[in-house]
Amino acid sequence: MTSPPENARLENAINAACAVAKQQGLKFTEAVVLQDRSNLVIHLRPAPVVARIATTTGTVRFGDTWFAKEIAVASYLAAAGAPVVSPSKLIQPGTHQHNRLVLSFWEFVEEIDKLPDATVVGKTLRECHEALVNFAGDLTVLEPLTECETLLCNLISQNAFSLEDSEMLQAVNHHLKSQFQQLQLPMQPLHGDSNFSNVLNTTGGVLWTDWEDTFIGHIAWDIACLIASSHVFGTEMERTTAALYGYGLAIDQEILDLFIAARTFQGVLWNFIIGQQHPESLQRLEVRLRWLRDRFSTIA
């Protein structure tokens, strides 16, 4: 059962999206929750419009820069014919702010009740990468490393982790920074969070969504986003292998291992943040912590 504070959180976010949509002149009869994780995603049915509201993410990211970036990147990719969910053309996609929440509007796509073919997932991610090469918008370089360092400091100050895990995570952060500073790899705009939950199997084909984490880096980051969970949790190995085959580019294993570790480190921090509203995320946090302890025990 949803607790009263949880009800208030959802109600506030849904009301904000509905109010802005009505101000934009959109006609709809109900708001249907499609996803509630780091952002709340709702379909303003029957209009072909989806609202994304920064709920959990909005507790640690301030302003609307990351949502504005997402709209710019997705608009660019859609215009280039890349396989992405497009910002809404029916109303102004945003960004919008209402009741201290940031939100945006997107085209509704009809999902198929079947996982997307993993080979196609890899192939379409590469198509997005190829389309992104010439994106000229303002993007930061290696943004996840900078954000993770800030998040880690804040979470440690809140006693989010045990003393031993805090020291281990600080050592991992230092190790990753040192290793990344030594890398001399080609960089380009990336998705930034290209895991299987951000690719949809729709009646219009396999489409990528959720571009708010786009930054400039090496494509190994996006590959790691695809496969890191299977390495940590020991699941869906065949699916990730098929996705790598579909992408069609071999990456040095030592480099890929570094990016998998960086992605797992990021996952620990966001599992804790998301876990404050979705406790099941804390179970994934423990698995990721154990994985990092096993691999970095000698550097702590």
| pLDDT at residue 300, rounded to an integer | 52
**What's the half-sphere exposure (Cβ side, CA atoms, 13 Å) at 226?**
30
Q: Which two tokens stand for residue 278?
A: 């979705």
Full set of structural domains in the chain with CATH: 6-107 (3.30.200.20), 118-296 (3.90.1200.10)
What band does 3 get if pLDDT is binned at 50, 70 and 90? very low
pLDDT in tens, 118-171: 999 999 999 999 999 999 888 998 888 999 999 999 999 999 999 999 999 999
Distance (Å, rounded) from C-alpha 139 to C-alpha 93? 20
Angle, vertex CA 183, rays to CA 181 and CA 184, nearest 5? 120
3-state secondary structure of 104: strand
Both tokens of residue 172?
A: 């991992």
Look-up of token digits 């695809």: 226
Gyration radius of the chain over CA positions: 19
Find out whether the peptide bond into 46 is cis, omega within 30 degrees of 0.
Answer: yes
HSE on the CB side for 122, CA within 13 Å? 19
Predicted TM-score of the model (pTM): 0.90
